[in-house]
Structure 1
Amino acid sequence: MPTHFPVQSMRPMPTGKPLTLPKIQASFGKEGGKDREIRLKRQQAVKSSLKRCWKAYGKHAWLEDELTPVSGSSRNTFGGWGATLVDSLDTLWIMGLQEEFEQAATAAVAINFETSTFEEVNAFETTIRYLGGFLAAYDLSGDTRLLRKAREVGDMLYKAFDTPNRMPMPRWNFAKALANTAGEAPLRALVAEIGSLCMEFTRLSLVTGNPKWFDATERITDALKSQQNETQLPGMWPITVNPFKMKFTDDNTFSLGARADSTFEYLPKMVALTGGLLPDYAGMYEDAMKTAIKYNLYRPMVPDEADILIAGSVHTSEQDGEIVTALESEGQHLVCYAGGMLAIGSKLLNIPDHLETARKLVDGCIWTYKSMPLGIMPETFFMDPCESQSKCPWDEVRWKTAVLLHHKKSGDLTQADELISKNRLPKGFTSIPDTRYILRPEAIESIFVLYRVTGKKDLLESAWAIFQSIQKYTETDLANSALKDVTIANGDPLKMDSMESFWMGETLKYFYLIFSEPDLISLDEFVFNTEAHPLRRLGA
C-alpha cells in the first residue's frame, strides 16, 4: 500500500559478531532416578491438560480467537484471527505434538488478515500474539510458511507507523488503514503499547534482512532513552505517554505492572536477543531498575514475617518546588513477571544484587498463592508496607488499623474484624479489589526463569503446588476456565466461561518447561517475548 509519510533515513540493523554474553542458565548436575520419575510424571500431567484444552478448542472454537470452556462455544477478542491457534503453535511444538502442530500450522498460514472482526485493532496485542507466535513457531520448526505469515503480519502492523512523526497508532482503525487513510499518533497512549514492540520487530528484521521494522521501533527506543531521566521519577517512564508530541514525561504514575510492564521487561531481553550489539538497552535497564528497586518495591508485613517483596505503584507530586513520591501498595498478579526480568538482567549484565531482589519478588508471588484459601493468587490486592525491608515484625493491631485506613473507616478494631470477615482477607492483606484469577502465567513464568537461573529444587515444588491448585479449581468438562473469586473458602469458585489464548500459549508452556530437561528452550539460546513466544537469540 502507498505510504503517506515515508521514512527519510532508514537505520541499518546491528552488525558485527554477537558478543559472548554471560550464561543465564545454571549448570544442572546429573538427575537422580527418583527425581526424574517425579519430574516426568508432572510434565505429563501438564501435557495432558494442554492436549485436553487443545482438543476442546479444535472441536468447539476452531479458527476463532478463544474457546468458552464452560458453554462450549467461542468468542473473538483479538480480531477474529485465531488467537488461540497462533498462540499455541510453539507450545504444540515444544511438547512434541507434531501431528497437532502440522494441522495447526497449515490452518494458521491460511488466516486472512485482510478483514477483522474489530473496527479498532490493538497493535501491541497483535504484535505479541500473532507476530510473536509466527516468529517463534518459525524459529523452532524452520517452516518457511510461518516466516512468510510473520512477514504478512509485520507488513500489516507497519501501517500503524505511517504517521507524520513515525510514532505508532497503538489502536488504529482497521478499515481506515485498509482504505489507506492517513493517520497520526494519539495524544495519549500506554507506555507498554508503544515500548513493547521492539523484540518482535527486531527479530522480524533479523530473519528477513529487511531493516524497516527494526528502524520503526528503534525510533521509539531513541525517544524513550532521551527522556528517561527527565521524567518526574528519573529512570522510569510513566504509565501514559504522548506519542503525538513524542513527550514521555508528563504523567505522574510509575509502575512495573499493568500498562507499563513489558516496556521494562524488554530492556534486558533485547540485550539477549541482539547478542549485546545494542548497548543502549543495558544502560536503560540499569537506570530503570535502580529507580524501581528504590521506589516501587516494598516488603509487606505478613504473619510469618517472610522476607518477600511486592511491586507497587508510585505517584509523584510537587510540594514546595520539590517532587515527592507516594507509594501505592497494590500488588498485581501481572507484575509477577518482574522476578524473571531481574533474574535475567542479573546474569546478563552481571548485577548480583538483582538476583537476590528477583528471589524475593518470586517468593512474594509464591507466598501470595499459598496464603489464599484455594491456593491461587488474585488479580490485584493491597498489603501494608513495612517501614524497613531488613526487619518487619508482625503486628496484628497495626494490620487491622491498616485495613480500616484502606477502607476509609475510622472505627475500632471490631469494625476491622467485620471488614476482614466480609472481604475474606487473609492475614496481611488490607484489600483484594479484584478477586479474579484469569489463568494468568506471570507467577509460573518467573518461577520457571528463576529455576533455570539458580537450579533451586524448592521452586519445582512451588510450581507443582500452584499447578495442582489451578487445575483443581479451574478445570471444566471441556478445558479450564477463569475464576471470578479466589477468596472463597467453600472450594467451589464461580467459573467465568473464559479461557484466554495465553492459557495454552503461556501458562501451560511455562509449567511444562519447568518440568522439562533444562536444555529444552535454553535461556542461553532463546528469549521469550511477553506472550511466552521463544525467539532465537542472535548468535545462538
Structure 2
Amino acid sequence: MARFRTRYVAFCALLVVFVYHVLPRDSAIPYIRRPRRKQEHSDGSTEGLAQYMNDLKHVPRITLMKSSFDWNTVNFTYPPERTPRIPSPVTTRPRIQYDFRPESARVAAVQEKRRLEVKRVFEKSWKSYKSQAWMKDALKPISGESVNQFSGWAATLVDTLDTLWMLGLRDDFYEAVDAVARIDFGQSTSSRVNMFETCIRYLGGLLAAYDLSGHEVLKVKAIEVGDLLYAGFNTDNSMPVDFIDFDAAKDGEGLTVEPSVVSASPGTITLEFSRLSQITGDDKYYAAVSHVMDTFYEHQNETMLPGMWPMMVSMRRQDVVTGYQFTIAGNADSLYEYLPKASALLGSSDPSSKKYEVMSKNFMDTAIDNLFFRPMITGSEDVLISGNCDVLKDGPSLDPESEHLACFIGGLYALGGRLFENDKYLETGAKLTRGCVYAYKSFPTGIMPERYNMVKCPGPDPKKACKWDEEVWATEREKRAEYREHLPKGFTTAKDPRYILRPEAIESVFVLWRITGKDEWREAAWDMFQAVANATDAPFANAAIDDVTVVGSGQTDYMESFWLAETLKYFYLVFADPELISLDDFVLNTEAHPFRLSKTQA
C-alpha cells in the first residue's frame, strides 16, 4: 500500500508538470468554470490569479522611464482646494451580481466555444495593431496604416491593457506594460490635450491595469497622467478646462475655462480621480472633482427639467442650469453614468460622497418620467427606447429620436436598481436594454444605426403599450427628410445609418446578464456578436460600416481604441466565467476599465 501511495503521488506530480508545461498558459488559469464561493477574499481581490500572473518566474524585468516633464512640480497660479478628503473605504454594499451556479457540461461547452471565438477576433485586431501601428494611437483596419488622434501616447495600447489581462494574454500584457513604461507624457503630438479622452482612456486604462495586476510601473504612469490632468484645474474658479494648453499648463499659467462645453466633459472625471486618490492616498484629485460635482449637485433641481442638466453647460460661469435640451445620450451620457458608479465606488456615509446617491435617484426618476417611451411595433415585445426632451413654452416635449450611445442607460438603471435596492429601476433597465436588442434585430445587418427615430405610442403615458398601425407608421416615416423606403417597420429614420464599432448596447446586455443571470442576455449577445464580427471584418482588424440598413454596406478605414477596450471586452465577459470582473468587486468606467471596489459585502 505504501508503494502504491508513492507511485500515486509521483504520477500526480508528473500530471501537474504536464498540465503546467503543455496546456496553453494564456487560458489554463483564468477561465476554469467553478462553483461560486461567497467572498473567497474579503477585499474582493482575485488573489490567486494575481499571484500567478505576477510570479517572478512569469513577470519580465521592466525598466521605468519617467516622463521628460514632472507634472507634479508645476507651480499653480490658482491652486485648487485640497479638501474634502477621500472617504474611508466602504464596509458594506448591496449584492449586485447574480449568484451563479455551476452549469451543465453541455452549456459550459457552448459558452466556452463562444468565448474563444470572441478571443480570436480580438487577437486578429491586436496582432495587427502590434505589427502595423505599435505605439500609435490607432490602427486603420483596412489599409493597415496608423493615426495619432489623442496626443500620440499609444491610446490603443493603454486602452487595451486590462483586456489583455482578462483574456489571459500574459506575454502580450507585459510586453504592453514594458511599452507603457517608456511613454513620455511630457511630450505631445498636439498642443491641446483633450481632458475627457485622456481621462477615460489613458488614466482609466492605467488605473484598471494596475488594479488587476498590481504592477508598480502602471501606478507610476497613472500618477503622471493624473498630475497632467490635475493641471487642467489651474483656473480662477477651480473648474476644469475642456482642452489643456500643453505649454501653458507646464508653465503654471492660469488656464482659461471655455465658455460652453458638453455636460459630459466636466461630469466624467469623478471615477478616475477618486480611484487615483484611493490608491495614492493623495486627496487632491478627489477634492478637485468633488468641487466640480458640488456645482451640479447644488443646482440639479433649478433647471428647466428639474433632476437633469441641459446638454450644454458653462463651467466658466459655473452655470449648469441654462438650456432647454435634455438627453442621456451623446454630449451628456457619462455625466449621468458616473453618478451611480461614484456612489458604488465611494459609498454615501461621507458628506462629500452622499451627493452621488441623491443625484442618481433624482435624475433616474426624472428620466423615467420624461425621456423613455414605448415604441409602436408590430410585435408584443415589452421594450422602452430612450429619447430626448426639449423644454419649451408648453413644457417638456419628448422627441422620439435615439442613438447607439444611449444604449448604456439600460445597464446603468439595472446597476442602480441593485445598488439602491429599487426594483423599478431594474425593471426599467431591462426594458431599455431589450429596446436596444430589438433595434439590433430589426435591421437586416443585425446591427442598429448610430442615430434613428421611431414612432412613440400615443396618449398621455408614452410608456403604455399600443397596437401597431401601418398607416400611422407610413405617415410618420414620409414626413421625415431622411425618408427611406426600406426601413424596418416601426422606424421612421436612420438619420445616421453607420455602425462605428460602438459598445453601449453590448455593455447593457453584459450588465443585465451579470445582474439577472437570465440566459436571454447571453443569447442576445451571441446574435449581436456574430452580426458585428461578420459585417465589420476587414483585412487587418474590424472597420466601421457605412449603412446598417443594407447588407453588404461599404466600410470606413476607422477603428477607435474602444473596439478592443470596450466592445470586444464586454462580448468576452458575457461568455467568460462570471467571477471574472465580478460586479461585486469592480465598477467600470465609461471606457469599460474596471476599478477595484475598496471592500465588498461579507
Give the TM-score, by structure 2 length.
Answer: 0.85
Structure 1, unaligned runs of 5 or more: 409-418
Equivalent position of 1:415 in the other structure: none
Q: What do residues 139-161 of structure 1 show as CA deviations (whole Å, max 9, x unaligned)? A: 00000110000000000000100
Deviation at 1:420, TM superposition (A): 3.5
Equivalent position of 1:411 in the other structure: none
Deviation at 1:6, TM superposition (A): 1.5
Asked if the contact 1:275–1:539 (Cα under 8 Å) also holds between the matched residues in 2, the reply is no
Equivalent position of 2:422 in the other structure: 351
Is 1:404 aligned to residue 404 of structure 2?
Answer: no
Task: Give the Cα–Cα distance (whole angstroms) in 1 for the partners of residues 307 and 515 of structure 2.
Answer: 26
Equivalent position of 2:287 in the other structure: 215
Is 1:470 aligned to residue 532 of structure 2?
Answer: yes
Task: Give the Cα–Cα distance (whole angstroms) in 1 for the partners of residues 75 and 267 of structure 2.
Answer: 26
Task: Give the Cα–Cα distance (whole angstroms) in 2 for the partners of residues 267 and 252 of structure 1.
Answer: 22
Is 1:434 aligned to residue 509 of structure 2?
Answer: no
Judged with a 3 Å threshold, the aligned counterparts in structure 2 of structure 1 residues 8 and 126 are, in CA distance, closer, same or farther, namely closer
Structure 2, unaligned runs of 5 or more: 1-73
Q: What do residues 358-392 of structure 1 show as CA deviations (whole Å, max 9, x unaligned)? A: 11101000000000010011100001111242321
Equivalent position of 1:377 in the other structure: 448
Asked if the contact 1:474–1:481 (Cα under 8 Å) also holds between the matched residues in 2, the reply is yes
Task: Give the Cα–Cα distance (whole angstroms) in 1 for the partners of residues 182 and 508 of structure 2.
Answer: 34
What letter matches 1:494 in structure 2? G
Asked if the contact 1:474–1:480 (Cα under 8 Å) also holds between the matched residues in 2, the reply is yes
What letter matches 1:289 in structure 2? M
Asked if the contact 1:376–1:466 (Cα under 8 Å) also holds between the matched residues in 2, the reply is yes
149, 171, 190: which one pairs with 1:99? 171
Equivalent position of 1:310 in the other structure: 385
Task: Give the Cα–Cα distance (whole angstroms) in 1 for the partners of residues 100 and 137 of structure 2.
Answer: 39
Judged with a 3 Å threshold, the aligned counterparts in structure 2 of structure 1 residues 251 and 206 are, in CA distance, closer, same or farther, namely same
Asked if the contact 2:81–2:284 (Cα under 8 Å) also holds between the matched residues in 1, the reply is no
Judged with a 3 Å threshold, the aligned counterparts in structure 2 of structure 1 residues 8 and 263 are, in CA distance, closer, same or farther, namely closer
Equivalent position of 2:593 in the other structure: 533
Asked if the contact 1:131–1:154 (Cα under 8 Å) also holds between the matched residues in 2, the reply is yes
Q: What do residues 455-502 of structure 1 show as CA deviations (whole Å, max 9, x unaligned)? A: 0001111100100011111011211111111111xx322110111000
Deviation at 1:184, TM superposition (A): 2.2
211, 220, 223: which one pairs with 1:139? 211
Equivalent position of 1:480 in the other structure: 542
Moved more, 173-182 or 277-286: 173-182
Task: Give the Cα–Cα distance (whole angstroms) in 2 for the partners of residues 175 and 122 of structure 1.
Answer: 14
Q: Indicate the SS of the match to 2:431.
A: helix
Equivalent position of 1:502 in the other structure: 562
What letter matches 1:382 in structure 2? N
Give the TM-score, by structure 1 length.
Answer: 0.95
Q: What do residues 196-252 of structure 1 show as CA deviations (whole Å, max 9, x unaligned)? A: 100000000000000000001000111100000000000001111110111100011
Deviation at 1:331, TM superposition (A): 1.0
Task: Give the Cα–Cα distance (whole angstroms) in 1 for the partners of residues 215 and 280 of structure 2.
Answer: 14
Deviation at 1:8, TM superposition (A): 4.6
Equivalent position of 2:372 in the other structure: 297
What letter matches 2:86 in structure 1? M
Moved more, 331-340 or 175-184: 175-184
Task: Give the Cα–Cα distance (whole angstroms) in 2 for the partners of residues 420 and 169 of structure 1.
Answer: 41
Q: Indicate the SS of the match to 2:146.
A: strand
How big is the alpha-carbon RMSD for the aligned residues of Structure 1 and Structure 2?
Answer: 1.2
Equivalent position of 1:413 in the other structure: none
Task: Give the Cα–Cα distance (whole angstroms) in 1 for the partners of residues 206 and 399 of structure 2.
Answer: 38
Question: Which structure has the bigger radius of gyration?
Answer: 2
Asked if the contact 2:347–2:354 (Cα under 8 Å) also holds between the matched residues in 1, the reply is no
Equivalent position of 2:146 in the other structure: 74
Task: Give the Cα–Cα distance (whole angstroms) in 2 for the partners of residues 157 and 520 of structure 1.
Answer: 30
Equivalent position of 1:367 in the other structure: 438
Asked if the contact 1:275–1:537 (Cα under 8 Å) also holds between the matched residues in 2, the reply is no
Task: Give the Cα–Cα distance (whole angstroms) in 1 for the partners of residues 371 and 246 of structure 2.
Answer: 37
Give the % identical residues: 44
Q: How does 1:62-461 map to 2 (within 5 A)?
A: 62-277=134-349, 278-319=353-394, 324-387=395-458, 388-407=462-481, 419-421=483-485, 424-461=486-523
Task: Give the Cα–Cα distance (whole angstroms) in 1 for the partners of residues 129 and 82 of structure 2.
Answer: 46
Task: Give the Cα–Cα distance (whole angstroms) in 1 for the partners of residues 244 and 326 of structure 2.
Answer: 25
What letter matches 1:313 in structure 2? N
Judged with a 3 Å threshold, the aligned counterparts in structure 2 of structure 1 residues 285 and 8 are, in CA distance, closer, same or farther, namely closer
Asked if the contact 1:43–1:516 (Cα under 8 Å) also holds between the matched residues in 2, the reply is yes
